[in-house]
Chain A
Amino acid sequence: GAGVSQSPRYKVAKRGQDVALRCDPISGHVSLFWYQQALGQGPEFLTYFQNEAQLDKSGLPSDRFFAERPEGSVSTLKIQRTQQEDSAVYLCASRGADTQYFGPGTRLTVL
């Protein structure tokens, strides 16, 4: 079946712009995660959803970061007033029986 998909794959934003990153998890997966991966580093946890409920947002770096999953399937990560330090790959994962399945990521570059 289809895996986790993310769009866009690449996004270039000017500093101060708002961006929205989309994640389509594997159908039927209740749990959804967002991670941020800086160049040369491992992914870092941002936030977690169980269905539409955001149960953990402890990894969001600032109040400019906002995530939602209104119908318990597709999720959107929104970054307001982007800064250069937001440049990274943003990964989405959904959880199956015993593992997380990751999407290809969205590479965000803030100029």
Chain B
Amino acid sequence: DAKTTQPNSMESNEEEPVHLPCNHSTISGTDYIHWYRQLPSQGPEYVIHGLTSNVNNRMASLAIAEDRKSSTLILHRATLRDAAVYYCILSESLSGAGSYQLTFGKGTKLSVIP
């Protein structure tokens, strides 16, 4: 799987938007971009994923650069409950008969300041 690069840590004030960057310059045409987050003492939790177009769901938005070499996870209003480690992951397959294992890096530790 292609590698991703994320900042080790970021801080945000509560109720402000947060933009978490991810670089993936060696992404292939079939790689999906996934974001997971891990709250303290919990397993990772799916946040969002995309291929080429920007995506929105109830948790966050995913902005994908036109060349797909970078992406940004956007939390529109950070809350204290959003404090977690955020992982940006590339995966070839999304569903179907084949498996896909997730290759996690160290992620970005997001701290939210009240």
Contacts and interface: CB of A to CB of B under 8 A. Distances in A.
Interface of A: 4, 31, 33, 35, 40-45, 48, 50, 55-56, 59, 91, 93, 95, 97-105
A43 B45 CA distance: 12
Contacts, number: 55
B80 interface: no
A43 B107 CA distance: 10
Contacts of B105: 42
Contact of B49 (A42, A59, A95, A99): A99
A97 B102 CA distance: 15
Nearest to B42: A104
Contact of B46 (A43, A91, A99): A99
A42 B87 contact: yes
Contacts of A101: 46
Contacts of B76: none
Interface string B37-48: 000011111100
Contacts of B34: 99
Interface of B: 34, 41-46, 49, 85, 87, 94-95, 99, 101-107
A42 B99 contact: no
B49 A91 contact: no
A43 B102 contact: yes
A47 B34 CA distance: 20
A24 to B, nearest CB: 13
A48 B102 CA distance: 11
A8 B85 CA distance: 24
Name which of B85, B94, B104, B105 has the most chain A CB atoms within 10 A of its CB: B104
29 contacts: A4-B43, A35-B104, A40-B106, A42-B105, A42-B107, A43-B44, A43-B102, A44-B104, A45-B101, A45-B102, A48-B99, A48-B101, A50-B99, A55-B99, A56-B99, A59-B101, A91-B43, A93-B102, A95-B99, A98-B49, A98-B94, A99-B34, A99-B46, A99-B49, A100-B46, A102-B45, A103-B43, A104-B42, A104-B43
Contacts of A91: 43-44
